Structure 1
Amino acid sequence: MGKLGQIAGTVTLAATVVLGGSPTAAVAAEAAAGAAGRAGRTAAGAGLPGLVAFVRDGDVFVSKGPGEQRLTSGGGHARPRWSPDGRRLAVLKRGQVWVMRADGTGQRRLTTRPAGGPSWSPDGGWIAFASLSCTGGPGVYRISATAENARPEVLFPRDCRGAELPEETTAGPVTGSLRERLQYDNAVAWSPDGARVAFRGGDCESVYDACLSIGTVATGEERTVAAFGGGGSQNRGFAAVPSWRPDGARLSWTAYQEGETATENRPVHLVEYDTATGTERTVGGTLDRELAYVDAGRAVVTSRNNKGSWLTVLSLADGSRTLLRSGSQPSVQPLPH
């Protein structure tokens, strides 16, 4: 119960996390690159099939190629996520889930309780988000993306289904190092087939110090896919910010590990997990994070460049990389069906 109490104190704080390096450093790095250098770096973005939504200095932008459009102002925004039809975005605004059109208009708040990074159901009718559960630890809810004054419904833990919703609290900003901010980031990811949700924590936290779960929506059953500390594991670390490949065959997450020996230590990095075989591999480089799939062969990730956070197109086959622009927390607009 001590562990759950600790998590209960952090789940509301993690809702408004704005990740990345110092915004001042990122802007300075971009300026130092020069206009010609920026044009060359961003030109490769024209090869992406749709827009990339991302965060810079606490606001949401969209980009394709060398141009970009700012969708929000005033800061406090995090974790933009495209709807399955690519016409809307869900985003955290000061710890609440909001939705808006792809051009930033029609902004509307959905939740009144602190929330972790949202994710759309494949039919676009629901949005899943993380928030405090009836157990005192992090839980996963869904809420209608279209209904007025919709009430959240519990997805996980299963035992909280039908229970009274916890009292609403106020989320505050998260501070600390990149690792500390990522550790309690509660972004969730709804699978492309609609059957599962990946999320940080879950029933596995009764055994491990930190873990990542895949929950089955219909039954409420949970499966642990990454675990750190406790349960016989002698390591420390975390797995957070999950992302499904469009075909559902792979799940990625951002990880960190401290092993029994220095040779087993792993700074922030990306893991790709085969959902059929359970095998996993490291993709990208050191300090890469927040992978958003473009297709089976490419992804947009947040990387470090000139002491700032940059969006980078990563080849998942050979590891080749193309810098796009300064920013973090990418979400790739789905291809039209």
Structure 2
Amino acid sequence: MARRRTATVIVLFLTAVLAAVLLPGGLSPSADAARTPHAAATFPGANDRIAYVKVASGGSDIFSVRPNGTGNKRLTQSLDAWHPLWSASGKRIAYERPGEVWVMGANGGDQKKVADGDLVGWMPTGGRVLVVEGLGVTGIDPTWSLVTVSTGAVEDLPIDLPLVAGLGKPPYPDYSEWSYAANPTLSSDGELIALTLRREDYGDDGYSWDFGSFFTVRLDGTDLTRVGKYTYSFGGLAWSPDNDEIAYWASEPRAYCATGLRSLELTGYSGSVSVNRPCSVIDPAWSPNGRKIVYGDDGGGKLRTSNPDGTHVTTVLDHKYGVTRFDPDWRRAP
């Protein structure tokens, strides 16, 4: 079964912001991977370093930096690493390479592969990671598993999503059937997965776009719940440290790119995040103390922090020609 394309607005946006890092033979592996918005959860505590992905002409690697912009350090040298997530202890980082989940120490040492698939998140004890395989395949349920980092032992999870192949054109009768799943992220307490379920929508003129809603589900597959009534939000889901809000990129039908950063409470009401910078801000993540967010700005050219409402903006890393920074994750102080 063919893998579904990412929403058209995401492709257009990230194709533009990554144009400066094209290789002679086309996009680098990391640039291609960057077309899919990633997701994160922040463990509560005191604020510390920020891990992020840097894309340049040679590919993508993971770095970490202090919130004041000092101590910038490269952690991987593989040119194909992305999606860093700190463990609860702050002593390890899980991350992705093409089709694989890896783990390393906070300073980049002891790198090892732990599983095939895509990274969803750390369990709060730090001994296991949640991994998924088969995301984005129309009508086919992804497979979910908890993998023990030290041994590679696997526990399969009984999560069954309402995915249906061959959904016709709308109007759809309700929100009970979808085509594919995307953007999963695990809450910091290890209780819930947030994700988007998506299907195709069509305008009267034949224009089509991805129609999606947020859901949460427990690791035992129960309590699949639609969060809110907003159906065109997408991208970069990020749990708040108290697990009461989910931040995301915001978009509307036919939008060329993301219109800003927003959040939803699990009750479905609008949350505290409101950053209005159309076609500019990407990949939000919360600070461990919940008072700040970090994100890529100017299409990923800058790494910035601000209050959730968009005030008190601080540039952590400024624009550099040919460099894109995205997918940050904020460490809780060990």
1:296 to 290, 301, 322: 290
1:298 maps to amino acid: K
> What is the aligned partner in structure 1 of residue 130 from structure 2?
128
Stretch moving more, 320-329 or 140-149: 140-149
Q: The residue matched to 1:66 in structure 2 has which SS?
A: coil
| Aligned 1:80-159 pairs, distance under 5 A | 80-112=84-116, 114-115=117-118, 117-132=119-134, 136-137=139-140, 139=142, 141-151=144-154, 153-157=156-160
Q: Is 2:42 aligned against 1:49?
A: no
Matched residue, 1:323: 315
Q: Structure 2 CA distance, aligned partners of 1:209 and 1:249?
A: 24
- SS in structure 2 of the partner of residue 97 of structure 1: strand
Say if 1:158 and 1:258 are closer, same or farther in 2 by CA, change over 3 A. Answer: closer
Question: TM-score when scaled to structure 1?
Answer: 0.67
1:155, 1:54 → 2: CA distance? Answer: 32
TM-score by length of 2: 0.67
Deviation for aligned residue 1:132: 1.1
Structure 1 residues 323 and 59: alpha-carbon distance in aligned structure 2, compared to 1, 3 A threshold: same
Aligned-pair CA distance for 1:135: 7.7
Which one of the candidate residues 236, 243, 246 is aligned to 2:241?
A: 246
**Conserved 8 A contact 1:79-1:118:** no
Amino acid at match of 1:85: S
- How many angstroms apart in 2 are the aligned matches of 1:188 and 1:155? 15
> Structure 1 residue aligned with 2:193, among 169, 190, 197?
197
Indicate the SS of the match to 1:240.
coil
* 1:278-308 deviation digits (Å, cap 9, x = unpaired): 334651132312111113221111111xx65
For the 8 Å contact 2:157–2:219, the answer to whether it is kept is no
Q: How many residues align?
A: 265
CA contact (8 A) 2:233 2:248 kept: no
| Cα pair distance change 1:153/1:268, threshold 3 Å | farther
Give the SS at the match of 1:188: strand
Deviation at 1:24, TM superposition (A): 4.1
Query: Would the alpha carbon gap of residues 185 and 109 (structure 1) be closer, same or farther in structure 2, given more than 3 Å must change?
Result: farther
Q: Against the structure 1 CA distance between its residues 145 and 311, is the aligned structure 2 distance closer, same or farther, given a 3 Å change threshold?
A: farther
- Deviation of 1:66 (Å): 1.7
Deviation per CA, 1:7-63, whole angstroms, max 9, x where unpaired? x4458xx9xxx99933747xxxxxxxxxxxxxxxxxxxxxx8311000102100011
| Inter-CA distance 135–148: structure 2 relative to 1 (3 Å threshold) | farther
Deviations 1:181-200 (A, max 9, x none): xxx99443211222111123
The question of whether the paired residues in 1 share the 8 Å contact of 2:94 and 2:101 is answered with yes
The code of the aligned residue for 1:293 comes to W
Counterpart of 2:81? 77
After superposition, the Cα gap between the structure-2 partners of 1:110 and 1:135, relative to the gap in structure 1 and judged at 3 Å, is farther
RMSD (Å) for aligned C-alpha atoms:
3.6
For 1:112-155, what per-residue CA distance to the aligned partner results, in whole angstroms no more than 9, with x for missing partners? 2x42x431112223212332179844636233242423336235
- The residue number in structure 2 matching 1:210 is 212
Counterpart CA distance in 2 for 1:190 and 1:157 is 16
Residues 209 and 185 from structure 1, CA distance in 2 versus in 1: closer, same or farther, beyond 3 angstroms? closer
Name which of 298, 301, 306 aligns with 1:309. 301
- 8 Å CA contact 1:293, 1:299 repeated in 2: yes
In 2: Cα distance, 1:205 partner to 1:276 partner: 23
CA drift of 1:74 comes to: 2.9
The structure whose residues are more often helix, as a share, is 1
Q: CA deviation at 1:240?
A: 2.3
> Structure 2: how far apart are the matches of 1:124 and 1:223?
27
